[in-house]
Every structure is written in C-alpha cells, then in structure tokens.
Structure 1
Amino acid sequence: MSGHSSKTTVGALPDTTVKSPYVPVALTWLVWSLFAASIAVLAARIRVGGSWEIPGVIAIDGLTVLMWVVVTFFSGIVHSYSRRYMTGSAHETRFFVTVFGFTAAVMGLVAADHVALFGLLWLAMGLLMSKLIGTARGWRQAQAAARVARNYFFASSALLGVALTALWWTTGATTVSGIAAADDALGGPVWLIAAGALVLAAMIQSALVPFHGWLLSSMTAPTPASALMHAGFVNAGGILLARFASVITVDATFMLAVVAVGGASAIGGKLLKSVQTDIKGKLGCSTIGQMGFMIMQAGLGFFGAAITHLILHGFYKAYQFLSSGERIEHIGPSRAGTRTGGPVTSVVGVVVTLLTGLGGGALFAVLTGKGLNADSGLLLTFFVVIATLHAARNAIQHTSLSTTARYGAVPLVFFPAIVIYAAVYEGVSALLMIDTAATELTILHGIIAAVFVGIYIGIETGVHENSQRLYVALLNASQPSSETLLTSTEDYNEY
C-alpha cells in the first residue's frame, strides 16, 4: 500500500444542513456575517479614515479592522469545516461556542484601548484556546495538554500585566494610545522591565523557543482547533509588539536582542522539524520557525512586515492543517525514507537557488523600497527572501516532479510569492500607519545574519544529521509534555 491510495467512504457522509444542531448553524452564519461586516468596515476605513473610538475604552484603527477581516475569515473557515468534522460529537455545541467566543475575544483585543481591558482579553483569549485544546473532556491526554497550555498562557498574561503596570507607572497613561503618545517618557529600568515583559509575553503566546512546549503538547486538539491556533492564536505575539511598537523601538540595542531571539526560534523551529515523523508535529515546528521570522521583522523595526508575515502564514498554515488528512493519504510508506524536504545540493541546484534568491531580493527591494539602503531594511529583504524561498520549495517537495523540473518549478512559485508578499506589505503598511523604525546596520547585525545563514545552510545540506548528539538533543527538545503522550512504554509492559 504505497504511493497514491484510492479514496473510500464507509457509509454516507453526514448531511450537515439537516442534522446539525441549531447552535453550530447559527454561529457559522453569524461569524460569516461578521466577516462581511468587517470587510465593509475596512472599506469605510480606507475611504473615510479618521479616528473611531470610545475614548479611554476602545479605539478602532487600521490594525483593528484588518485583524477583524483576517480573524473572522479564518474563524468562518474553521466553523464551516467543523460542521462536518464535529458532527456526531458529544462536544459539538460546546466546541462551536468556544470557537466563537475565542473569535469575539480576539476581535475585542485588537480594538481594546484601555490597558485593563487589553490585559483581560489577552487572558480570555488564552483560556478559551486552552479549552479548545482540551475539547474532549473524557480524554486524559487532552486534558493534560489543556493544563500545560493554560499554565503557559497564565504566565504570558502575568508578564503582560507586569508590562502594562510598568508602562502605566512610567507614563501615567491608562490606554494603549496614551502610552504610544508618551514615548518621550520611556526609558530607564522601568521601561526595560516593561519592554522585556512584553517580548516574553509575545514569545510565549507565539510559541517561540524555549516556550514552544505548549504548542507541541497541543496535538490532541481537534484539527479545526489546531488550524485556528496556528493560523490565528500564535499571531498574537506579533500583534502585541505592533500595538506597543513605541515601547519596543526606544533602544536600538534592545531591538537587536529581539532580532536575535526571533532568529534563534526561526532556526530552532527548522531544526526541531527535522526530527519530527508525524505531519502535525512537522507543521507545529514549522509554526515555531515562522513565528521566529515574524519576531525578527518586528525587531528590525518593520511592524508592517511582521503583520504581513502573520497574515500570509495564517492562510498557508490553515490550509496545511485542514488538508493534513489528504497529505497522509497521498504519501505512502514507499516514500517514507526518502529525504524530499531538502534542497538540491548539486552545483546546478546551488546556482539556481542563489540566482532565484538574488532576483527575488532585487524584486522585493524595487517594489517596496526596502533593501536599497544600508539599514535594517536590507536584512528585512534578506529574511523575507529566505522565508519565501523556503515556503516555495516546501510547496513542491512532495510533488511528482523530477529533480530537473524542480529547478524551474521553484522560481515559478517563488517570484509570484515575492510579488504577493510585497503587495500585501505595501497595503498593510499604508493601512496601519505605524512609523517604520529602521535602524543602522552594525557589526552585531552582520554576525547574527552570518550565524543564521551558516546554520541554515548546514541544515539544508544535511550536515546536522551527522551528529547523533544533536539528534538526541533535538528529539528531547521536541517532545511534548509526558502527560500528553498518547502512549508510553509502560502501556506495552504486561508485567
């Protein structure tokens, strides 16, 4: 049983339009209605502009309406997909209520202006996601995974509380917009505590290394919940840093540290992925790496690029999770030992990859104006090219194309992807109206970039596979909490 297997169906598929309970149907229609309304609000925002707010409570800006559109779209997809996926489950109604509640919490979070409201919605978002992870109440491993995630989210919320309290203490402002307006008052030890706590809270929520344990322990979640988690929830870290951009950009050295943190997770996610054997595990490690790229972009001062990355990654990862069952079907045992994820390491492959990357970088620079000067925009272009080229190559890695055909297939996928990335970035930046905080390049930037490239090339060429010690270390680092493992050696010990 190898290669492509035929699709067989045991019995009739459920008729969701007839048998679905009222609550899932109503909430699915409601969330799609919210999506339509969000598009209308976005159009009005683009056309009219201005400030829409309830002073001191909520403020609707470009980031708010953009996230409303993105969040309601992903939620609508998950609701519609779950109509069939959850049919017949005893947890169906509770699952839909929780998903919709999570959607509402995120929509409120991106509109919240008062720091207390922002902090409460951040906590609510985490608690609702932990409920989705533990949807199956009678499943011990699922409940253990929910507890692990909940502990991480409590820690993230506590750090955010510390940051918001420190910012209030420093600026006297009780709103997010007030803190942004009082950026002249930021600095010193209290600012450092606030900025550090913000970054740590973002790292936990976005499952960056070393806080990735909750994400790898959450594989017991229903597939639609995983899609919502990887396409939406983990993006909260980027949204948090964009909201408090004025705090993060006070000191260039601190921003460099954020770049280093993101780079470590980008590489760490790729290394962890190399030892995964199941599809959801690979997708989880991919998310860890991609969130690292997102944090790097924020550290470089390009928050519009970070928001662009989380949006495009959300679309990609939602599709990957919701189609993960199809991937299992199409990859047979005969191909299990074939190393298809790596690049072509021949001279021709290296030349084609380099020329494709250089061409894509030049195209991105021309379209966005980033990378034309000797500042952090050059690194932004560099990392965008790496992330996009990696995604393009992943898109064709399981195709039946010959090695020679892949030489041409990668550029055919990569160049349109770069154009789309640049176009979305320009649109997002115009809508957000967040000042770009590009910094001068330093020797430390060069060292970080050189180390990143060196490790990345080592992974791509398979050098890391020669170290058994590294393999064991990665295998241990990628293990979920022992309580969440579906089986253990003790389960097979009759004595």
Structure 2
Amino acid sequence: MTEHDHSTTIGQLPEPTESTPVTPRALTRAVWLMWVASLGVLAAALGTGGAWEFGGVVAVDGLTVLLWVVVTFFSGIVHSYSRRYMAGSKDLTRFFTRVFGFTLAVMVLVAADHVALFGVAWLAMGLAMASLIGYVDGWPQAQAAATLARRYFLASTALLAVALGVLSWATGETAVSEIVTAVDTVPTVPWVVAVVALVGAAMIQSALVPFHSWLLSSMTAPTPASALMHAGFVNAGGVLLVRFAPVVTLDPTVMLGIAVVGATSALLGKLLKTVQTDIKRKLGCSTVGQMGFMLLQAGLGFFGAAITHLILHGFYKAYQFLSSGEQVEQTAPAKTGTAADPSAVGLIVTAVTAVAGGALFAVLTGKGTSFDTGLLLAGLVSLTTLHATRTAVGHRGLPTTVRYVVAPLVFLAGITVYAGAYTAVTAVLAPLPLGSPPTELTAVHGVLAAAFALAYVAVDTGVYERSTRLYVALVNAAQPAAGTLLTDTEDYNEY
C-alpha cells in the first residue's frame, strides 16, 4: 500500500452536520444566485437589443449573457451534486473553492474585451481545471495527469498570447471588439500567424485530435469536476472562434481548413470510443468527437450552430458524467438483443426518418434549402437521425410500435427542439460581428460528406472491426499518458 494523506470512507457517506464547512453551502448558493442574475441580464439584453461596454475592458453582449446563463447553471448543478458526492473528502473547502474559481474565470473570459484580460482569464481557466484534475493529494497518477494538462493549457495560452499580441500590434487596438472590426487592415503575414495560433489554441483547449491526450488522461479528476470539464471547459475552443469570427472568415481556405480539422476529430473520436471499455473514457472519446462536430459547424460558417451544439452537448455530457456510476455493474457476457434489425421494414423506417429529419431541420431553419454549406449541416442532422433511428428499430427488446412509430416521432420532435434552439441562439448572436462566412460548396466539402457517411456505415455495420491493424492503431491512439494509468490492483483499492 502506498503512503498518502487521504482518508477512506466506508459505507454510507455522513450527512452534513454543524461541523461541516460552510464554504460549500455558501458557494453553492452564490452560484445559483449568479444564475438567477444571469437570467435577468439575458432578459435585459434581449429587451434592449444592445450590448454594454465598459472602457474597452469588459463587453457584455448576447454571447456573454447566454454563456453566463449556461455556465452558472452547469456550475450550480455541479456544486449541488458535489455537496453530497464529496462529503467524505478531507479537503472539501479546497475543492469547492477551485470549482467556484473556475466558474468565475469562465465568466470573465466570455465578458473580457481587453486582450490582456482575455488572455489572463484563459490562463486562469486552464490552471483551475488542471488543479481539479490533480485534486487528490498523494496520488501520483493524479499529479501526473494534472502536470500533463497544465502543459497543454500553458501551450494553448502561449498560442493565444501570440494571436492576441500580433492582432493588437497590427491593428493598434487593445480591445477584442475593436480588433475584429479593424481586421481588414492587418497585413497578410501577421494575419496568417494570428489565425494559425487561434486555431491551435482552440484545438488544444477543446481536446481535438492530436491534442486529446490530456483529456483522456484526466480521469483522475473527481466525477463532478469531469462533468464541469466536459460540459464547459472544452467548449472554450468554440467560444474563441466565435469571438474572433471576423478574423478566421477573411479567407474561405481557412474556414475550409477548420472544417477539415473538426471533421477529422469528429470521425476519429467516434472510432476511438468503440475500443474503450471504461465508462468515463468512453465519455472522453465522445467529447473529442463532439468538439470536432462543434469546430466543423464553425468551419462551415454556422457559428450559431456551434454555440447551440456546445450548449446541448454540455447538458448531455454533464448528465452522463454525473450518472456514470449507474453504468457500473457486474454481468456475464450475453446477447443484449440490440443488434441492428435486418428487416425491410426496419430499413425503410430508418431511411424515411433520416430523410424526414434533415428535411424538417431545413424547413424550420432555412439551412439546406439551397446549394450551399447549409446542405452539409442538414446532412449531418440526417446522419445523426439515421444512427439514432437505426439503434432504436434494432432494439428487439422494445415493442414493435415503439420501434417503428414512437421512436421516429420522438427523434423528429427532438429535431424540432434543436432547430428551435438553433434559431433562438442565432437570433441572440445576430448583433455580433461574425464576418461573412463562405457558403459555396467545394470538392473538399463533398469529400467530408462522403467520409462521414462511410465512417458511420463502417462503425454501425462493424466492418471496421475486421482490420486488426486499425484496431491496434485506435487502441494506441486512445491510450492516456503512461504516468496517469492505474496498473496495480492495490492502486485501485487504495483510491
């Protein structure tokens, strides 16, 4: 057994008593009050239709208040959940202080207008998350994971500093709002440097391939911290690209490159997930893929879709992590009855629902009704609907009516909700300078569409499993850093 200063609680966790630190309760109430206040600010912003600027240091616009509401809500859930989950922890106050500090850092980041404040908030956000990853003292694997994450976050901060410094020098401005307005005056070379640095910082922070190692190595973090990480922290890459949209939309080639980067990570994230056996690591690979989807949507010019995606993904992933304990069970290998339905009826229902889903989204949002990149966005909706419907109709344990009628109707209702959320978010972001994204389809867009279709077919049919070399490559690519692995049975018992 290793020596450490960490008490183990056996049996039912104790209920809060008078000796329980007041900090967790106070910070939990403070976060929920911040959420209520954010709702009020959002209502005021929608009512006035404007933004508030404070001396070139802080700017509160639609994106700011929208993310304030989302971040404080997720943080409130994590704070409330952690009061019970972390009740046996010796350093309860330290954990809640760091979670609250992380929340404040994100709120400052989305409101920061001065480049220095923006950079400091980005750094503080990363350092706070790294400290949560290494929260358990005396656990070598946790400290190794925190060190790895900290290195990645410092690298992303360095790239962001380069981008902010170059743009500020080239435009003569120190406010982000002024920089994006004057970006047309930036010479080509400084602009290229800034764009590369911005995209690199976004990729690292959002754990896109090949920078996903820090995320898959971060499973030493307490589950509530993992929920906050996957529901909020990794979204910073999308927020960064939206904030600097006029910079990256100057050249269609850059947007195409962002789309390719996002698509690559989305496909690899889906494949990496298939070789995982650990619940939290499966969720981690899923996040890698979903963040790829987010950048793909930004690369297609649909920044409203990217923000909508990160919000809905946040809700989903926070729930998945906080309920991950329910997935742990000891069972014998057996057929589950969830194989794909090979019947003609199942295939027809799946195809019709997928086409109807894409068409419904196109009608409700107007994206996909003309020959432009909106077709790809609607196509992604169809592909997602195809996957969900195929899974449902292939679940032989469900009644026939549920598989062929109820499930497709539920999925179509979900698309309606998604389209409504996308429309609402786009309206909130409308006053922001998002540049003029390209809308023309290119051969590369066609390749991306074909790659997605082929990848989904390969995974859903299991064809990819026939390649031993591919399996080994995926397993190797999905491995966390060696120093963060628990390899001794006593290590598991200890922590």
Q: 374, 381, 391: which is aligned to 1:377?
A: 374
Segments of 5+ residues of structure 2 without an aligned counterpart are 1-9
Q: What is residue 478 of structure 2 aligned with on the other side?
A: 478
Name the aligned partner's letter for residue 78 of structure 1: V
Q: Is the 8 A contact 2:105 2:125 kept in 1?
A: yes
- Whole-angstrom distance in 2 between the partners of 1:276 and 1:396: 25
After TM superposition, the structure 1 stretch with the greater mean CA deviation from structure 2, 43-52 or 228-237, is 43-52
How many percent identity over aligned positions?
64
Length-normalised TM-score, structure 1: 0.92
Instruction: Decide whether aligned partners of structure 1 residues 353 and 396 sit closer, same or farther in structure 2, where only a CA change above 3 A counts.
Output: closer
Name the aligned partner's letter for residue 271 of structure 1: L
Q: What is residue 141 of structure 1 aligned with on the other side?
A: 141
Instruction: Decide whether aligned partners of structure 1 residues 82 and 468 sit closer, same or farther in structure 2, where only a CA change above 3 A counts.
Output: same
CA deviation after TM superposition for structure 1 residue 14, in Å: 3.0
Q: Is the 8 A contact 2:68 2:107 kept in 1?
A: yes
Q: What is residue 268 of structure 1 aligned with on the other side?
A: 268
Q: What is residue 182 of structure 1 aligned with on the other side?
A: 182
Q: What is residue 427 of structure 1 aligned with on the other side?
A: 424
Name the aligned partner's letter for residue 312 of structure 2: L
Query: Does the residue aligned with 2:297 lie in a helix, a strand or coil?
Result: helix
Query: Does the residue aligned with 2:59 lie in a helix, a strand or coil?
Result: strand
Segments of 5+ residues of structure 1 without an aligned counterpart are 1-9
Tell me the C-alpha RMSD between the 2 structures: 2.4
Instruction: Decide whether aligned partners of structure 1 residues 356 and 392 sit closer, same or farther in structure 2, where only a CA change above 3 A counts.
Output: closer
Length-normalised TM-score, structure 2: 0.92
Q: What is residue 333 of structure 1 aligned with on the other side?
A: 331
Deviations 1:147-184 (A, max 9, x none): 11111101111111111112123222211101111132
CA deviation after TM superposition for structure 1 residue 454, in Å: 1.2
Q: Is the 8 A contact 1:209 1:288 kept in 2?
A: yes
After TM superposition, the structure 1 stretch with the greater mean CA deviation from structure 2, 455-464 or 13-22, is 13-22
After TM superposition, the structure 1 stretch with the greater mean CA deviation from structure 2, 301-310 or 429-438, is 429-438
Q: What is residue 7 of structure 1 aligned with on the other side?
A: none
Query: Does the residue aligned with 1:334 lie in a helix, a strand or coil?
Result: coil
Residues 118-133 of structure 1 mapped to structure 2, 5 A cutoff: 118-133=118-133
- Whole-angstrom distance in 1 between the partners of 2:376 and 2:312: 19
Instruction: Decide whether aligned partners of structure 1 residues 358 and 16 sit closer, same or farther in structure 2, where only a CA change above 3 A counts.
Output: farther
Instruction: Decide whether aligned partners of structure 1 residues 471 and 311 sit closer, same or farther in structure 2, where only a CA change above 3 A counts.
Output: same
After TM superposition, the structure 1 stretch with the greater mean CA deviation from structure 2, 455-464 or 209-218, is 455-464
CA deviation after TM superposition for structure 1 residue 20, in Å: 3.4
Q: 342, 353, 357: which is aligned to 2:354?
A: 357
- Whole-angstrom distance in 2 between the partners of 1:222 and 1:395: 33
- Whole-angstrom distance in 2 between the partners of 1:317 and 1:187: 41
Q: What is residue 199 of structure 1 aligned with on the other side?
A: 199
| 1:413 and 2:378 aligned | no
Q: What is residue 156 of structure 1 aligned with on the other side?
A: 156
Deviations 1:281-316 (A, max 9, x none): 111111111111100000000101000000000000
Deviations 1:206-240 (A, max 9, x none): 11111100000001110000000000001111100
Query: Does the residue aligned with 1:301 lie in a helix, a strand or coil?
Result: coil
CA deviation after TM superposition for structure 1 residue 408, in Å: 3.8
CA deviation after TM superposition for structure 1 residue 445, in Å: 1.0
Q: Is the 8 A contact 1:82 1:224 kept in 2?
A: yes
Query: Does the residue aligned with 1:333 lie in a helix, a strand or coil?
Result: coil
Q: What is residue 368 of structure 1 aligned with on the other side?
A: 365
Q: Is the 8 A contact 2:337 2:397 kept in 1?
A: no
Q: What is residue 113 of structure 2 aligned with on the other side?
A: 113
Name the aligned partner's letter for residue 432 of structure 1: L
Q: Is the 8 A contact 1:119 1:161 kept in 2?
A: yes
Q: Is the 8 A contact 2:340 2:393 kept in 1?
A: no
Deviations 1:320-363 (A, max 9, x none): 0001111224xx523567595x7545544333222111101111
CA deviation after TM superposition for structure 1 residue 409, in Å: 4.9
- Whole-angstrom distance in 2 between the partners of 1:461 and 1:476: 23
Instruction: Decide whether aligned partners of structure 1 residues 286 and 345 sit closer, same or farther in structure 2, where only a CA change above 3 A counts.
Output: farther
Deviations 1:387-410 (A, max 9, x none): 455467779999952688434454
Instruction: Decide whether aligned partners of structure 1 residues 403 and 122 sit closer, same or farther in structure 2, where only a CA change above 3 A counts.
Output: farther
Name the aligned partner's letter for residue 128 of structure 1: A
Residues 37-436 of structure 1 mapped to structure 2, 5 A cutoff: 37-186=37-186, 188-329=188-329, 332-335=330-333, 340=338, 343-344=340-341, 346-387=343-384, 390=387, 400-401=397-398, 405-433=402-430, 434=432, 435=434
Instruction: Decide whether aligned partners of structure 1 residues 393 and 93 sit closer, same or farther in structure 2, where only a CA change above 3 A counts.
Output: farther
Q: Is the 8 A contact 1:305 1:425 kept in 2?
A: yes
